Chain A
């Protein structure tokens, strides 16, 4: 390793040019980076929920919809209805739109004296108040499921815009939002639905990137300036931070990894971590510079001492991030891999670019380090003495904290909710809440009903099971409406029987009825009544044929497949709360197992995807903590060549984990896809403190007593550890300025974790070392 340092110092210009070239080449790739804010695309392909969801998208042409609510005190006025009519038509004409369901274009199935009529409720925009009145009467008596088209209080109209499966839903959301912004409308409108939320997530992410990254850079500049009071002390680590972030994002672009709700945090995480190596090296450089005047010698001396710890801590940090891959949530794994790569890049730059530039620069004339040093040193010695004197008290305090934290564990709640992630006054949240309070709901659970052969959906027993299931779904709280082909069959049956309510049901398996036949008798045609039996399925098929006589080819394409083998029931739900969705899912499954036997039934839809994410979060949380603990212990065990010391390194981390979960439990911070990242990151970054501390303590212990070693270690390692924890912690704390509650929480948790691992390293470890005086620390040689 040191040979590289020597080469770098001998060829500083080559090194600098090489680093700049790599940064430029990778930086140029950033132009191809993709952005994918859709949280559900993080799901791995191989889980059943995702497969089922994708299969549904193959069978049915549209899945995502945007719901536009229009609010007016005079909803049923000529002006508003005319606007509604025009907007509906214009939305229908948009290229990304599959179909539009609006109060002005619903298909009304009406019984006429001699047949059935299917037509759009309005063929022309109404011109007079009377026409609007007639329209309103028709709408409310159409028997159609209008729960998502007219609000419960009748003051709002909803337009459901179904998007094609072939487009990016957030782009369509953008178009529709713009379309509405461009108009002068005499009423309030609210636009929501999963595509709109995804769009706003993307916007929020861009905003976070635009504000938080400069903020973290600013904080780094301030900390560097306070630490070193020199331009090189600020500019060189800053260059490493920025170029490693650029290189990492460039690599993401090359590998086609998008900026997602997870990788969005990468620049901030990486910037905070990447600065640490630079601080260590410069810290040592300025100390050495007090005694030496020759640049190259100073740099070589510093690097000889720091190559090893920088490499070890970078590897442990990377391993902590790599452990995120155990979660199976794709984007989280990507965050893990690329932050690990970024940390490695930062390490390489710190070990090459930094010595190269420093060896070119003259040693600064005066170095003002003494004053700060002496104050911090005195504090450190004081703290060491405190621990030595009040060991039992310190031990007691730590145990109390641990116990208290553990008591908080049962109160940890798992909750993913895209909506509560937005600030309360954010347009996305306002629109979502307004719409979901007043309409059936914008989250959907899709029940796929699959027959064994073509046409099975036309069987009355299947349709009856569907009707029964829909009634059950509607009886559940938060389910506002359901829609399926069975609703239309019911309606047709009623219409074909003179609008008699008794026929507002699915026909029986065999229907007995009276009809008329024309027969030729004695050369004359006469009409004779006949009693006859007919299979219900034929009746259903002929209703459908009657409907088709005046419908478009794909009218029912979203409800039943072409061969009438697979149908879909959509249940609209007014919340995204994973816990509510879970309850609906479990009850529905139980009901199906008991009552639905005429065809295979599977559940999918956005609600199921949210649940799948949640499940992965729980499983992933546990395994990623275990994996990262194992990996860092392995690396430290190998570095220190002792399992015991490897385990010592894990103690502060364990403490931080327990504190983290206790904190989440006591403060009611939800465990979700974002906050789950905390543990693994904290382990990867926080292990550095234990490594530095133990490394130093071992060195001192070779020469002096336990207590004296502790005092020296506290000064030589404890102070930089605290400074480092402050730097990294403050960097992470920037995330608290995100607009998303989830990211804010994560920023808080991870900052806290930096402080608790730091506390663990400089408090718990000394107490253990003083109490047990482990021999292993003495015997082993110092790692290189």
Chain B
């Protein structure tokens, strides 16, 4: 009996080894591809809290209502309306992504009753003065980077693929400000749970951690993202709540006109 059990255990071990080694054969690019294309949501909405914290530990807290949709396979639109702090209440921010050019960005200022276009300062610009760049919050474009798979690691108790991403061209590097990104992607749900960003001098610049993920309507979301700038010790956190997926937002929602609508 005992021998049989041991044999079964060994057999299971072998099967595990086999699957593990077959996973091993996945290239870095293939993993990224799977991770990028796993989700199938059309649109979503959520309440976002953006917490900025300076090296002295002081915080600026912004509450935002966020709407997003996929316009095409590679392009999304995003609308954000500020709930607080009071002096910027009802300002609204619209981003229209373009795969083959600069994104359009508009800010509606209720104090002026006007929409102002924000000149795009490249993807490397800071998203609302946070440590997240526009690139970080947007969807990574597969062909912007070349990938190399590094030995798997365990992050916070989860088996992860470790992928090194190098810019595919000098323009990407200049545009994003990154010389290298290392991502840890959870094997079970294919969600990035940690990233290290290196600046153009190849020094560690920012660390992304993901303290919470949540499955909503079969889609895994990172519901808490913390970006720590290790060079300046500035820190930004984005928390998502009340996520709703596929709520059929009308397309006009993502227009400049709609931006100005008084809520």
Contacts and interface: CB of A to CB of B under 8 A. Distances in A.
Interface of A: 58-59, 61, 93, 112, 114-119, 455, 458, 496, 511, 513-519, 525, 527, 530, 532, 534-535, 537-539, 541-542, 545-546, 548-555, 557, 561-563
Contacts of A519: 261
A548 B112 CA distance: 17
Contact of A552 (B56, B118, B129, B260): B129
B126 A552 contact: yes
A517 B115 contact: no
Contacts of B105: 549
A589 to B, nearest CB: 29
Q: Is the interface of A mostly helix, strand, loop or mixed?
A: mixed
Given A525-B257, A548-B129, 9 more contacts: A116-B116, A117-B118, A515-B114, A517-B262, A527-B257, A550-B119, A553-B131, A554-B54, A563-B58
A553 B234 contact: yes
A725 B85 CA distance: 75
A553 B236 contact: yes
A541 B87 contact: yes
B88 A115 contact: no
B129 A518 contact: no
B260 A516 contact: yes
Contacts of A119: 119, 121
B110 A542 contact: yes
B117 interface: yes
A118 B129 CA distance: 12
Given A537-B87, A554-B54, A563-B58, A93 B201 contact: yes
Nearest to A99: B232
A545 B126 CA distance: 13
B11 to A, nearest CB: 55
A458 B111 CA distance: 14
B117 A115 contact: yes
A458 B87 contact: yes
B5 interface: no
Nearest to B87: A541
B125 interface: yes
26 contacts: A61-B55, A93-B201, A115-B117, A115-B119, A118-B119, A515-B112, A515-B114, A517-B261, A517-B262, A518-B258, A530-B113, A538-B110, A539-B111, A541-B85, A542-B91, A545-B91, A546-B109, A548-B128, A549-B107, A550-B118, A550-B119, A553-B129, A553-B131, A553-B229, A561-B58, A562-B56
A542 B260 contact: no
B52 interface: yes
Given A517-B113, A553-B129, A545 B107 contact: yes
A555 B262 CA distance: 31
Interface in B114-149: 114-119, 121, 125-126, 128-131
A553 B126 contact: yes
A116 B232 CA distance: 27
Contacts of B88: 538, 541-542, 545
A546 B113 contact: no
Given A93-B201, A517-B113, A562-B56, A546 B118 contact: yes
Interface centre among B56, B110, B111, B257, by most A CB within 10 Å?
B111
Contact of B93 (A112, A534, A549, A552): A549
Nearest to A544: B88
Contact of B111 (A534, A551, A555): A534
Contacts of B4: none
B37 interface: no
A515 B262 CA distance: 12
A59 B56 CA distance: 8
Contact of A114 (B87, B115, B130): B115
Given A546-B107, A562-B60, A553 B115 contact: no
B118 A517 contact: no
Q: Which of A114, A517, A519, A542 has the most CB of B within 10 A?
A: A542
A557 B58 CA distance: 12
Given A518-B261, A552-B129, A538 B87 contact: yes
A306 to B, nearest CB: 63
A176 to B, nearest CB: 17
A545 B112 CA distance: 13
A36 B129 CA distance: 38
Contacts of A530: 113
Interface string B252-263: 000001101110
Interface in B201-231: 201, 229
A115 B116 contact: yes
A248 B222 CA distance: 64
Contact of B117 (A112, A535, A538): A112
B157 to A, nearest CB: 31
A58 B59 CA distance: 16
A118 B118 CA distance: 9
A542 B111 contact: yes
A58 B111 CA distance: 33
Contact of A516 (B60, B114, B118): B114
A554 B232 CA distance: 9
A546 to B, nearest CB: 6
Name the residue in A115, A116, A553 with the highest tally of chain B Cβ atoms < 10 Å from its Cβ: A553
A730 B128 CA distance: 69
A514 B128 CA distance: 27
A553 B130 contact: yes
B105 to A, nearest CB: 7
Nearest to B234: A553
B112 A513 contact: yes
Contacts of B229: 553
Contact of B109 (A532, A535, A542, A562): A542
Contact of B54 (A517, A542, A553): A553
Interface string B80-93: 00000101100101
B87 A542 contact: yes
A116 B119 CA distance: 7
Contacts of B234: 553-554
Interface in B32-53: 52
Given A542-B112, A554-B54, A115 B87 contact: no
A697 to B, nearest CB: 69
Contacts of A545: 88, 91, 107, 109
A541 B105 CA distance: 19
A546 B260 CA distance: 15
Most buried by B among A58, A496, A515: A515
A118 B91 CA distance: 19
Nearest to A458: B87
B87 to A, nearest CB: 4
Contacts of B130: 553
A115 B129 contact: no
Residue in B114, B201, B229 whose Cβ sees the most chain A Cβ within 10 Å: B114
Contacts of A458: 87
Contacts of B260: 516-518
Contact of A557 (B54, B106, B119, B257): B54
B55 A115 contact: no
A514 B229 CA distance: 41
